[in-house]
Each structure stands twice: as structure tokens, then as C-alpha cells.
Structure 1
Amino acid sequence: MSRKYKIRDQDKLYFVTFTVVEWIDLFTRREYRDIFLDSLRYCQKIKGLDLCAYCVMSSHIHLIIGRNGELPLEGLIRDMKKFTSVKILEAIKINAVESRKEFLLWHFGKAGRSNPNNTHFQVWQQHSHPIELNTNNKVSRCLHYIHQNPVETGIVLSQEDYLYSSAANYAGSSDTLIEVVLIE
């Protein structure tokens, strides 16, 4: 891994992206998005995750995260990816209405077999490319980028209208899916 993409300071905030292998549009089903959000909630409550911003897109997820516990950020990221991979694969396998079941399992199986770090399946690309947010400018740019993602792709007209994003939290709405630590 390049030195550019290492977590050097555990006490800083980081912008990370979790990308589905081959940029597959996995998160088109609410069930899979909710698995990821449940994992974030668990990590907030039990593992010391400070979630400052998020956006779940169809093929990737952007986060601004920090920590308030003992587990290093690399451990939080590893645990989230591992847990969500297992749960999403289970959900795909038992979902009677998943029209892409064979397609998804074939591609995740192919990715898993070609990666010596996995045994059978791989849902996420290997790296999350953490970027340390060590200036106010970087924080502002990343926060704007995360919240504008669904607007730029034409999903919504206003960032606050996208349900699977923290933009509504920052707009002061009480109608949000998950609590975040607002960046001042």
C-alpha cells in the first residue's frame, strides 16, 4: 500500500471510500444499504466509531470517520468491511426476489478466488484510501463532495433530500437514518 494512503494519526478524522468490487451496483436494494447502516450503528455504540459524514451510493460508500475508543481506525475499517461482506452475501443468497443473485455471487466469487487474502468471496475492493483531514479546507471539501455525490449523479436535486446521506443531519433535520458527529 502506498504511504499516501496510510492512517498515521489515530486521533485525526479520515475520508474513506468503500468500493464494491468491479464497481458493481450492489446498493440498489434497501436491504443491503440497511446492513451497512446497522454496522455503522454497532461500531458507533460498541467499537468507538465517530461517524461524521456518510453517503451510500449504488457502488460505493463515502465516510468521514474518527474514533473515540481503543480500536485503531484500521481495525474499525477492517471489521466493518468483514462484517458487512458476510451479512450482504448471506442476504443475497436467501433473497428470493434478488434477480441478480447469480451475477453477484459469480463476480464476488471471482474476486475472492483471485485475492489470496480471501477464501471464497470478496465484496469490497481491498483498499479504502484513507485521506487524513488535517486542514479545515480538506474537511470542507470532503464534506461537500460526500453530500453532493447524489446530486452530481442526478439522484436528487438537493443534497438534503437523499435519504442515505448525512446531508440532512447537517441541514438540521430530525428525520435522519443515523446520528453523526457534526463537524463544526
Structure 2
Amino acid sequence: MSRKYKFNNNDQMYFVSFAVINWIDLFIRTEYKDVIVKSLSYCIEKKDLKLYAWCIMTSHVHLIIGSAGNPLENIMRDLKRHTSETLHLAIKNNTKESRREWMLSMMENAGIANSNNLRFQFWQQHNQPIVLDTPKITHQKLDYLHNNPVAAGFIEKPEDWLYSSAKDYYTSTKGLLDIILIDPLVVTV
């Protein structure tokens, strides 16, 4: 893997995205999105995650993150491992999930095809962390992240997307997670 896509400096903010295998639209259901929210909250409280911005789309997650000490690669590894196991089990146990067998089959087939997995694969392998080392790139990624649901045609204004930090940035209302607002002139953590 190229060094371009690694967490090289724990003192920087990074934009990361990670997607469900085969871009499965898993996060159309609230209970699955809530697993991500709870996991991010846990990582903020217990794993030194600094969360600056976030957005859960139907098949993927965007984050702007930093760390208060714990290496970012460890935080991301633990976050993805925990959410993959928790979401896999949630799908398996959700008798009302009409796509259950299809999704589980896709995950098991992806796991078989990838020697890094034992039983199944939930997330695509990469995070593609991009260091945010200038105000221009920081705000470009922040705008992209918050406008993703608008561009997808789900809403008209970013702050209307519940599973995002846009409410924190565009209104005086607090969103679902404790975030650190990005100062327009500062890009280091």
C-alpha cells in the first residue's frame, strides 16, 4: 500500500472514508447507523479519538479525525473490527431484515476471497486516510463530507441529515456526537 494512504503523523487531522463491501446500502436502517454512532462515541470516550466531522451515508462513512494519543491506525482498526462484528451479528439476528440472507452471503463470499479474514468481510479493506495539512484541503473535505447527502439527493440542506455533524456546523443545535469544531484557520490537532 502506498504511504500516501497511511496515518503518518498522529498530530494531524485526517479525512477517512470506509465502505461496506460491494457498496451494500446497509445504513438505510436506523439500528445499523446507531451502531456506528455508539462506536464512535465509545472511541471518543475511551480510545483518544478526536472527532471533527462525520457523516454516515447508506453504504459508507466519512470522518475527519485526529487523536489525543492513541495511534490513529489502532483506533481505526478497533473501530472497524468492532463495528463489523456488531453489525454482522445485528444483521444475522434481525428477522425483519428482508435482505439478510443476501447480505450475509455477500459478506461470507468476500471473506472467503480475502485471506485477511476468517469467516466474513464487512468493510472494504482500505480507509484511504488523507492528511488535512492546509486550510484549503481541510475545508474542501469538510464541505464534501457535509454535502454528500445533498449531492445524493436525500436532503436539500446539509444540516437536515441527522447522521452527520452538519447540524453542529450550520446551526446552534448539537448533533448526535461530541465533536470538536474545526477552526477555519487551524488544521493541526
The TM-score range, normalised by the shorter chain, is over 0.9
Alignment of 1:57-136 (within 5 A): 57-69=57-69, 71-136=70-135
Partners of 2:62 and 2:152 lie apart in 1 by 14
Gap runs ≥5 in structure 1: none
Q: Cα distance, 1:94 vs. partner?
A: 0.8
Instruction: Give the SS at the match of 1:64.
Output: strand
Conserved 8 A contact 1:5-1:131: yes
One-letter amino acid of the counterpart of residue 92, structure 1:
I
Q: Distance in 2 between matches of 1:175 and 1:73?
A: 25
Question: Could you tell me how far apart the structure 1 residues matched to 2:171 and 2:44 are?
Answer: 20
Identity of aligned residues (%): 49
* In 2, Cα distance between equivalents of 1:130 and 1:162: 24
Within 2, Cα distance between the matches of 1:131 and 1:40? 19
Aligned residues: 183
Dislocated runs of 4+, deviation >3 Å: none
Q: CA deviation at 1:175?
A: 4.3
CA distance in 2, matches of 1:63, 1:175: 17
CA deviations over 1:7-61 (Å, ceiling 9, x no partner): 1111100000011111111111101100011000000000000000000000110
Letter in structure 2 aligned against 1:15: F
| 1:151-162 correspondence runs (5 A) | 151-162=150-161
Is the 8 Å Cα contact of residues 166 and 176 (structure 1) preserved in structure 2?
yes
Q: CA RMSD in A?
A: 0.8
Asked if structure 2 preserves the Cα contact closer than 8 Å seen for 1:169 and 1:179, the reply is: no
| Matched position secondary structure for 2:63 | strand
Aligned CA distance change for structure 1 residues 8 and 175 (closer, same or farther; 3 Å): closer
Question: How many Å apart are 1:173 and its aligned residue?
Answer: 3.1
Residue matched to 2:10: 10
Question: What letter is aligned with 1:147?
Answer: H
Query: Displacement of 1:3 after TM fit?
Result: 1.8
How many angstroms does 1:179 deviate by? Answer: 1.4
Normalising by structure 2, what TM-score?
Answer: 0.95
Letter in 1 for 2:74: G
Counterpart contact for 1:160–1:167, Cα < 8 Å: yes
User: Unaligned 5+ residue runs, structure 2?
Assistant: 184-189
Offset at residue 174 of structure 1 (A): 2.4
Paired residue for 2:24? 24
SS in 1 for 2:107: helix
